[in-house]
Amino acid sequence: MPHYIALIHKDDDSCYGVSFPDVPGVFTAGDTIDEAMQKAAEVLEFAAEDWPDLEGKAFPAPRTIDQLRGDLEFQDAAADAVIAAVPFRAKAVAAE
């Protein structure tokens, strides 16, 4: 089962926010880290269902953490984040 790398941010007096470097514009949040992680898996599945119709291309393939570490944009975004791997359970197929 593929996994997408997620960045989890939390500021004082806020929810846990989750974003995906490989899936721009897809994000979610939860009051607890467990809730945020559960919602992260759900939002990936939801986004994959309509991605080809909305974006006109296949759902982005996940990069490995090693590939992401070489990306300067990822380095900046991850500087103050917790990094997690979120399983991708969607029926839609990611781009190869």
- pTM score, two decimals? 0.86
Measured CA to CA, the distance from residue 40 to residue 19 in angstroms comes to 8
Q: What is the pLDDT of residues 18-66, one digit of tens each?
A: 999 999 999 999 999 999 999 999 999 999 988 887 778 889 999 999 9
Q: Which CATH number fits domain 3-83: 3.40.50.920, 3.30.160.250, 3.40.50.2300, 1.10.3470.10?
A: 3.30.160.250
The pLDDT value given to residue 11: 86
Asked if the model's pLDDT at residue 85 lies above 50, the reply is yes
What residues contact 62, with CB distance under 8 A and at least 6 apart?
2, 3, 4, 5, 22, 88, 94
Residues near 64 by beta carbon (within 8 Å), at least 6 away in sequence: none
Sequence ranges of the domains in the chain:
3-83
Q: What is the DSSP letter of 13?
A: T
pLDDT at 93 over 50: no
Output the pLDDT for position 74. 96
